[in-house]
Amino acid sequence: MRKRETHRTKAFGFLSAMLLLFVPGGLAAQEVVSLSLRNVVDLAITQSSAVKYVQNTDVNYYWRWKNHQTRFRPQLTLSGDLPDFENQTRPITQPDGSVVFSKVSQLETSARLALSQPIPVLGATVYAASGIVRLQDFINEGTGYSGYPVSVGIAQPL
């Protein structure tokens, strides 16, 4: 038993010495800061929760206003569909009424670019758009394109 206690005592002494060596600043006293009544009042005002609340509310209203303004600016939108691969057998009705099953293997992709401007008074949006669709047929080894160069219109909710 005696051996174990000495081992513990040595380990405790070693850990205590290491802890004192690595404590930043050691056990030095803190600086004394003297404050006048005016300094204390200023600190209380600048660090109060009511002042922080008002500052955060002000920032919140600022970003709400910025968000409100962006709704009335023109928007440029690029949208599209990821490639849609289709490989299946479809029933095709012939002119005589019979049904023939035909294998279909194709890849379809599309993209659209639009410029729109909201009109707040009407609640409408004026837009100009352009789009393209690409269809690749793997059985007949052909590629087809379809699209519209420019489409102009007005969209208004009912």
Neighbour-count burial of 133, counting CB atoms closer than 10 A to its CB (0-12 exposed, 13-18 middle, 19+ buried): middle
d(CA 106, CA 40): 77
d(CA 70, CA 61): 14
Q: What pLDDT, on a 0 to 100 scale, did the predictor assign at position 95?
A: 93
Domain boundaries, the chain: 33-70, 72-155
Residue position matching structure tokens 């707040």: 120
Q: Write down the pTM of the prediction.
A: 0.52
Q: What pLDDT, on a 0 to 100 scale, did the predictor assign at position 96?
A: 93
Which three-class secondary structure state does DSSP give residue 47? coil
Q: What pLDDT, on a 0 to 100 scale, did the predictor assign at position 17?
A: 67
Q: What pLDDT, on a 0 to 100 scale, did the predictor assign at position 27?
A: 55
d(CA 57, CA 59): 5
Q: What pLDDT, on a 0 to 100 scale, did the predictor assign at position 130?
A: 97
pLDDT in 10s for each residue of the chain, 158 residues: 455 556 667 767 776 766 666 665 555 667 888 889 999 998 888 888 888 898 899 899 999 999 988 888 999 999 999 999 999 998 989 999 999 998 989 999 999 999 999 998 888 999 999 999 999 999 989 999 999 999 999 999 88
Q: What pLDDT, on a 0 to 100 scale, did the predictor assign at position 18?
A: 63
Q: What pLDDT, on a 0 to 100 scale, did the predictor assign at position 22?
A: 65
Residue position matching structure tokens 């609640």: 123
For 4-20, the pLDDT digits (tens) are 556 667 767 776 766 66
